[in-house]
Amino acid sequence: MPATTTLIARALLLDMDSTIVNSEAVVERCWRRWAVEQGLPAEDVLQVVHGRQGWATMAALLPDRPMEQNLADNRRMLEQETADVEGVVPVPGAPAFMAALARLPHALVTSADIALAEARMGAAALPMPEVRITAESVNASKPDPEGFLKGAAELGFAPEDCLVFEDSEAGIEAGRAAGMRVVGVGERAARFAPTAHVRDLTQIRVEALVDGGIAVRISA
């Protein structure tokens, strides 16, 4: 019989890209173009883009570049990504996972802005959570914990009562810095020591408890 790990929480905080929505194809197309424009090796750029807002990635890659230029490029990048939904699909298991959360406390915490989040969630045919923390909601990008702390506060729960679902190093670091446990989703996440790890969301079963808690059951 397969082994099962159970984590108990009172609210779930969900990253979007590569956690519930597979947008890897779009991300790669847009960032490869930007890498060529900057004369940077595309593979090096793709190693650091996940989880952060675009301007933060640019600042990490080009530390001497004026921030105004990063912000301008970020606006252009968001427009390109919002318009390009080719290949955007749900992560395996995401439709059932999101359906199970419909009546449970949960929030989207993403580095995308609201237009991009709506475009990708719509393309993947996933319901947009009522509570969403997007790029417009925060002053600092992941790995800063601000987004997850705001998500917990909006839902009305203490950080230690929240369970984060994330795929990237920056996101997992942000969840830990917020004092939360983290379920890492996907191959990339396994490298960053999350509390628990799954290949995809088909390994997750969510159950409401009579005391108001949420049991997240993770199958091997």
| Among 199, 169, 27, 178, residue whose Cα is nearest residue 107 | 178
Catalytic (active-site) positions: 15, 17
User: Would you call 196 helix, strand, or coil by DSSP?
Assistant: strand
Q: What value, to the nearest 5°, has the Cα angle with vertex 148 and ends 147 and 153?
A: 100
Residue 49: partners with Cβ closer than 8 Å, 6 or more residues away: 27, 31, 57
Identify whether the C-beta of residue 153 lies closer than 8 Å to the C-beta of residue 138: no
Per-residue CA distances from 160 to 9, 16, 77, 178 (Å) = 8, 21, 35, 8
Sign of the CA dihedral running 128, 123, 149, 73: negative
